[in-house]
Amino acid sequence: MGKKRTYRHSKQRQRILELLTGTDKHPTAIWVYDQLRKEYPSLSLGNVYRNLNILVEQGLIKNSDFMGSFERFDANVNPHYHFICENCGSIVDIDMPIENELNDKASKTADISIRYHKMQFYGLCSKCLK
Amino acid sequence: MGKKRTYRHSKQRQRILELLTGTDKHPTAIWVYDQLRKEYPSLSLGNVYRNLNILVEQGLIKNSDFMGSFERFDANVNPHYHFICENCGSIVDIDMPIENELNDKASKTADISIRYHKMQFYGLCSKCLK
DNA sequence: GTTCATGCAAATCGTTTGCACAATG
DNA sequence: CATTGTGCAAACGATTTGCATGAAC
């Protein structure tokens, strides 16, 4: 039995979503907080976090994180891609050549100069496949 | 004039590096700490962090971080790649198709099943190019 | 009126730092 | 002996949570 959860309407959450859909930045919680404090002077940062997480739950926004909240250290200093198991969280180096053409391809989509890229694959590792 | 810095030999740092080169995991600081505490019961976590950062400075290990220490929220929930400016830190969505063949290519390098991938390009944005 | 949303402050968690002492070169 | 490394504890910064009150349905 999944926990049931109902969402009520909230002006603050509504405005947070509007702020996010209205910008091409990738805002942090504090940015949202600073913007919205002008309209709701009593707004609390904790509530911004709560609503951002609810919007993620609802699938209305995405949280761009990477490998979780821990720093990870790697003695393999050569450029390489990573695989992250969605079930157990283990991280594996992927032994395939770097696709440098992607840098050129991506450069052409905007007025930017690209030096390198990082890539992470997500799925299930051998252990978790069984 | 860059600040000069000399590194002395330290058994703890030596062992931290050995631990990292001897594993294919991508350890966190606490993992290293727990391993090494068996050998050095008085070891402090703060010192582990200090040494990990020194090893990164020396280019002997890598710190796999992503977009800095802040969570970033994005109302664009469609899969897309990101560009991150190395100078100003701004994040831009990259408007190019997802390279799904890469999932197959990467799957073949190990016994894993891949559902999707993320990619981040790094370089200079239009503002910082000038 | 039951449940969810809010503000506030305190708590939590990963990481960094100040300090006094020990080890290195 | 000048400088770096260490342990310890406190500080830090981003995020979460407990609690009492207010709003939604």
Residues paired with residue A83 on neighbouring β-strands, in sequence order? A92, A121
Number of cross-chain residue pairs from A and B with Cβ atoms under 8 Å apart: 227
Q: pLDDT-based confidence at B5, cuts 50/70/90?
A: confident
Nearest CB among A64, A83, A129 relative to B106 is that of A83
Q: pLDDT-based confidence at A2, cuts 50/70/90?
A: very low
- Distance (Å) from CA B45 to C1' D9? 12
Measured between beta carbons, which residues in chain B are less than 8 angstroms from residue A82? 26, 64
CATH architecture of B81-129: 2-Layer Sandwich (3.30)
Q: Is the pLDDT of residue A21 over 90?
A: yes
- Average pLDDT, integer, range B2-8: 77
Average pLDDT, chain A: 92
- Provide the percentage of residues in chain A whose pLDDT is more than 70: 94
pLDDT digits (tens, 9 = 90+) for B50-83: 999 999 999 999 998 755 667 899 999 999 999 9
Place of tokens 């016994």: B111
> Which has the closest alpha carbon to B28: B52, B60, B50, B54?
B52
CA distance A81 to A106: 18
For residue B72, give the 3-state DSSP assignment. coil
> Which has the closest alpha carbon to A48: A32, A64, A65?
A32
**Nearest-nucleotide field for A50 (CA, C1'):** D16
The tokens for A115 are 């030096």
pTM above 0.85, yes or no: yes
| Domain extent listing, chain B | 11-74, 81-129
The predicted structure's pLDDT at residue A58: 96
A96 CB near a chain B CB, below 8 Å? yes
The predicted structure's pLDDT at residue A82: 93
Under CATH, which number does the domain B11-74 receive? 1.10.10.10
Strand ranges (DSSP E) for A45-125? 62-63, 73-74, 81-85, 91-94, 113-124
Q: Give the dihedral sign, CA B47/B51/B57/B61.
A: negative
CB distance A112–B99 less than 8 Å? no
Measured between beta carbons, which residues in chain A are less than 8 angstroms from residue B74? 20, 26, 61-64
